[in-house]
Chain A
Amino acid sequence: MRKPFAITLDPGSSLANHTGTWRTSRPVYLDRLPPCNAGCPAGENIQGWLAHAEAGDYEAAWRVLTLDNPLPAVMGRVCYHPCETACNRAQLDEAVGINSVERFLGDEAIRRGWRFDAITERSGKRVLVVGAGPSGLSAAFHLARAGHEVEIHEAGPLAGGMMRFGIPKYRLPRDVLDAEVARILALGVTLRLNTKIDRLLDAMKAGHFDAVFLAVGAHIGKRTTIPAGASARILDAVSFLRSMEGEDRPMLGRRVVVYGGGNTALDVARTAKRLGATESIIVYRRTREKMPAHDSELEEALQEGVLVKWLSTIRHAGDSSITVQKMVLDEKGFPQPTEEYETLEADSLVLALGQDVDLSLLEGVPGLEIIDGVVKVAPNMMTGYPGIFAGGDMVPSERTVTVGVGHGKKAARNIDAWLRGTTRVDTPKHEAATFDKLNPWYYSDAPKTMRPTLDLLRRQSTFEEVVGGLDETNALFEARRCLSCGNCFECDNCYGVCPDNAVIKLGPGKRFAFNYDYCKGCGLCVAECPCGAIKMVPEEI
């Protein structure tokens, strides 16, 4: 049509007007480190595998998960999940049930028989792993994946270390453990059981190993001198729990007292209940708040009828009774003795006061530094002796399966670098995705799903697993509660809320880009990004 001059205009002609010149600061996309990832001792990319789970692709999720941790089914049961403690969602309603989803994925993998990808290229190097506990298995897995030939020497009759000889069945069914160990071995890892190494250097030479990873754990129960009658029955927790794996179960009697405040103490007390003890009493010198054991475990124990004597120390162990001295906390929070005593009927006393490491195999290895009974290692997990690395309970650290798995991975990566004659440099971590960076409005309310728990009667009488797993629907639900803190999950908000259409949508999986020709720098995209994956940076003027 012949359009009247000036008063009638062709559509979209304003594209000629580049309003980007108005801008004084510009939005940029970034990735921030989510608190769950930051908090995981095993260094799992939690948000990464949750993202696949959200999409219902559980195998992909499992594969991402197992890049860092080969034992998801185990971890999904025994991990004390610092990731959930750190989870930003806790400030909205409740933390995402990461641990339960991990367990779901682990169980799903076992159920469906998912296997790790076969190793393609081989390095020709041999690595000795001492100890088939969490650290050893984790290291073996990662080393094997890196193409090295791995041999595990385990002193015990079975693989698993503390996972088998420390953690009771009702927390970790053995078939689960066996399945995940088998899957690691399937990578071609050699496992020698009942193979105790006395002199490490000799063993290395004999086996032509290029490097060693030590993960013998801490299996010697700490003793303390308690005045005791001749016939007093006193055991230590480690050997007691280990003996649970044997043929004939230990005799404790009807009244059992456990001395200590760690998770092991709880494991013993709960196990005693299941063995038929009518009274299972924990004696601990501090208060519940000070107790190192995990509160969830204490809760379960109390539910099962375990009793706790707070602020108490054992002064004397007799044949059928023990004497307890009451304590009070001083202003600094340290327990101080009082003159108040109490006598408890007890058929046996189990000491759960921590464990020591058996360092005998290190004799004759030069350059090692032992402090408070543990081996000192460099940040790359290498001991003072080149090529000998160590991790798990035998190095200074919190003694959990998760930490052990983490050590295994870290050590493996550094051993790999060392074998290749390089040194590993960790990529700098992204800035933290803290809660204040989020716009939680966009997340709808969805409280955490509770895992089913076994009814009390059976918990007190049998060793069936106490905590059940999630089924597929609530696992999906739980996964989808993830806020994807700090990382774009393609919610299209920035694309939608830009008043200047200055956000370009790149398509599924490709995220977005800014069109700085038109972006006026209003900052709406930053304010309305749910997960804090955009920030404003000043323009150079």
Chain B
Amino acid sequence: MAYQPVKFYQTGTFTVGNRLLPPEVRAVQANMRRTNSLNSGHRACQGCGEALGARYAIDAAMNATSNQLIAANATGCLEVFSTPYPETSWQIPWIHSLFGNAAAVATGIAAALKVKGRRDVRVIAQGGDGGTTDIGFGCLSGMFERNDDVLYICYDNEAYMNTGVQRSSATPFAARTATTEATGPDPGATFGQGKYVPAIAMAHNIPYVATATIAELHDLEYKVERAMQIRGARYLHVFVSCPLGWGHPSEDSIRVARLAKETGLFPVFEAIDGEVVSVSKIRRRVPVEEYLRPQRRFAHLFQPTPHLEVIGRIQAHADRNIRKYGLVDAGSE
């Protein structure tokens, strides 16, 4: 783990908190007075990974900035389920402008704060994979290149869920979406492995790039906190599951995210100035089938009989990640 592990065997570093741990080593989410930046009453689906990831990240950012935070939000599920007139779930100053401009709006906010000498107030831009890797990509890249003082958080659920599960450039190979149906000779998405924005962000040599999942809260919170200690353009790519779009039971949201990491399909790491400085190792390596099977979007890979060639290709992708990022400790297997 990138963060300081807590030697506590009953629950290790993995539970949210523990009555026996000193408060400072518990997660922000364990705090009775956490900010609940994204409050109850939002209209996200049962078990929504994005709602969870957003509260995790923004609460952590609030904690790191003593609540001096402003957020710009791209159009998407998060925006729609959090702020339908006449109610908003946000407890922080928050603005939604357009689908493709969250990064630029945040740049504007940061510029305004700089002019006004409010260095204490920090700015976050957030959006889904559509608003980040597709339509908002230009603004995102511009924000990176100028090294604007903004933390951009992408909540990646690998498709356009708000509009009814259409394929985005973050949709993985073979996944079924409404625009990559599971029919024909090669069902599901046939566009390679998806656009990997964390690597593209690193190519901008911005001070901080990190990935995280909703399955490892401490790691996610550590990365948000670290990001808030740095000035300049920062990027956090959070893997969030979508029970509706992926077709898994709502209670499996965290488990599926955990499997994405444990298979190696979603590498969890952090990079400083374009160089990977730490990776979150795989604890119990599992084959990709374990990740694919619980999700209906991959059901066609197993019916009527397993499509070994396709599954093999996905496994190969996972193995490549494991080699590339050193996700498995030598000798641990």
A501 touching B13 by the CB < 8 A rule? Answer: no
What's the Cα separation between A54 and B21 when bound, in Å? 11
A225 close to B (CB within 8 Å): no
A501 touching B10 by the CB < 8 A rule? Answer: no
What's the Cα separation between A57 and B272 when bound, in Å? 44
B8 close to A (CB within 8 Å): yes
A54 to chain B, nearest CB (A): 6
Contact of A54 (CB < 8 Å), options: B10, B243, B249: B10
Residues in A whose Cβ lies below 8 Å from that of B29: 492, 495-496
A124 close to B (CB within 8 Å): no
Q: Which of B10, B12, B42, B89 has the most chain A CB atoms inside 10 A of its CB?
A: B10
Interface residues in A489-541 by Cβ distance below 8 A to B read 489-493, 495-497, 499-502, 505, 507-509, 515, 517-518, 520-524, 526-528, 530
Residues in B whose Cβ lies below 8 Å from that of A12: 39, 88-91
A524 touching B15 by the CB < 8 A rule? Answer: no
Nearest-CB residue, chain A, relative to B255? A527
A505 touching B18 by the CB < 8 A rule? Answer: no
B18 touching A523 by the CB < 8 A rule? Answer: no
Asked, given contacts A15-B40, A489-B19, whether A441 binds B14 with beta carbons under 8 Å apart, the answer is: yes
B85 touching A9 by the CB < 8 A rule? Answer: yes
A521 to chain B, nearest CB (A): 6
Segment of B48-56, B105-113, B128-136, B313-321 engaged in the interface with chain A: B48-56
A481 touching B9 by the CB < 8 A rule? Answer: yes
Residues in B whose Cβ lies below 8 Å from that of A490: 17-19
A451 close to B (CB within 8 Å): no
A530 touching B43 by the CB < 8 A rule? Answer: no
A442 touching B11 by the CB < 8 A rule? Answer: yes
- What string of 1s and 0s marks CB contacts (under 8 Å) between B1-34 and chain A? 0000000111111111111100000110110100
Residues in B whose Cβ lies below 8 Å from that of A524: 47, 52, 250-251, 253-254
- What string of 1s and 0s marks CB contacts (under 8 Å) between B254-266 and chain A? 1100100000000
B69 close to A (CB within 8 Å): no
What's the Cα separation between A211 and B87 when bound, in Å? 72
Residues in B whose Cβ lies below 8 Å from that of A482: 10
Asked, given contacts A444-B13, A492-B29, whether A15 binds B8 with beta carbons under 8 Å apart, the answer is: no
A245 to chain B, nearest CB (A): 41
Residues in A whose Cβ lies below 8 Å from that of B243: 522
B87 to chain A, nearest CB (A): 4
- What string of 1s and 0s marks CB contacts (under 8 Å) between B137-154 and chain A? 000000000000000000
Residues in A whose Cβ lies below 8 Å from that of B251: 522-524, 526-527
What class of interface size applies to chain B in its complex with A?
A: 35 or more
What's the Cα separation between A427 and B131 when bound, in Å? 58
B304 to chain A, nearest CB (A): 30
Q: Which of A490, A491, A495 has the most chain B CB atoms inside 10 A of its CB?
A: A491
A16 touching B32 by the CB < 8 A rule? Answer: no
Number of A-B residue pairs at CB separation under 8 A: 167
- What string of 1s and 0s marks CB contacts (under 8 Å) between B271-283 and chain A? 0000000000001
- What string of 1s and 0s marks CB contacts (under 8 Å) between A455-481 and chain B? 000000000000000000000010011
A14 touching B13 by the CB < 8 A rule? Answer: no
Asked, given contacts A9-B88, A501-B39, whether A530 binds B11 with beta carbons under 8 Å apart, the answer is: yes
A114 close to B (CB within 8 Å): no
Residues in A whose Cβ lies below 8 Å from that of B283: 441
B252 close to A (CB within 8 Å): yes
What's the Cα separation between A517 and B40 when bound, in Å? 9
A10 touching B88 by the CB < 8 A rule? Answer: yes
A484 close to B (CB within 8 Å): yes
Residues in B whose Cβ lies below 8 Å from that of A526: 251
Contact of A501 (CB < 8 Å), options: B8, B40, B49: B40
What's the Cα separation between A446 and B39 when bound, in Å? 38
Residues in A whose Cβ lies below 8 Å from that of B40: 14-15, 19, 500-502, 515, 517-518
Interface residues in A1-49 by Cβ distance below 8 A to B read 6-7, 9-19, 22
What's the Cα separation between A523 and B48 when bound, in Å? 11
A16 touching B87 by the CB < 8 A rule? Answer: yes
B184 close to A (CB within 8 Å): no
Contact of A518 (CB < 8 Å), options: B10, B15, B41, B252: B41
Q: Which of A19, A444, A523 has the most chain B CB atoms inside 10 A of its CB?
A: A444
Asked, given contacts A444-B9, A509-B19, whether A527 binds B254 with beta carbons under 8 Å apart, the answer is: yes
What's the Cα separation between A524 and B10 when bound, in Å? 21
A329 close to B (CB within 8 Å): no
A520 touching B46 by the CB < 8 A rule? Answer: yes
Q: Which of B11, B51, B254 has the most chain A CB atoms inside 10 A of its CB?
A: B11
B80 close to A (CB within 8 Å): no
Interface residues in B40-96 by Cβ distance below 8 A to A read 40-44, 46-49, 51-52, 55, 82-83, 85-92
Asked, given contacts A484-B10, A499-B51, whether A14 binds B39 with beta carbons under 8 Å apart, the answer is: yes
Asked, given contacts A505-B32, A524-B250, whether A14 binds B88 with beta carbons under 8 Å apart, the answer is: yes
A361 close to B (CB within 8 Å): no
A167 close to B (CB within 8 Å): no
Asked, given contacts A492-B27, A526-B251, whether A13 binds B88 with beta carbons under 8 Å apart, the answer is: yes
A385 close to B (CB within 8 Å): no
Nearest-CB residue, chain A, relative to B82? A14
A483 close to B (CB within 8 Å): yes
B217 close to A (CB within 8 Å): yes
What's the Cα separation between A9 and B86 when bound, in Å? 7
Residues in A whose Cβ lies below 8 Å from that of B85: 6-7, 9
Contact of A22 (CB < 8 Å), options: B13, B30, B46: B46
B9 touching A480 by the CB < 8 A rule? Answer: yes
A499 touching B87 by the CB < 8 A rule? Answer: no
Could you pull out 6 A-B pairs where Cβ atoms are within 8 angstroms?
A14-B42, A17-B43, A54-B20, A490-B18, A496-B29, A523-B46
New A-B pairs, 6, CB < 8 Å, besides A522-B253, A523-B250: A9-B83, A11-B90, A13-B87, A480-B10, A490-B18, A527-B252
Which A residues contact B (CB, under 8 angstroms)? 6-7, 9-19, 22, 54-55, 441-446, 477, 480-484, 489-493, 495-497, 499-502, 505, 507-509, 515, 517-518, 520-524, 526-528, 530
Which B residues contact A (CB, under 8 angstroms)? 8-20, 26-27, 29-30, 32, 36, 39-44, 46-49, 51-52, 55, 82-83, 85-92, 217, 243, 249-255, 258, 283
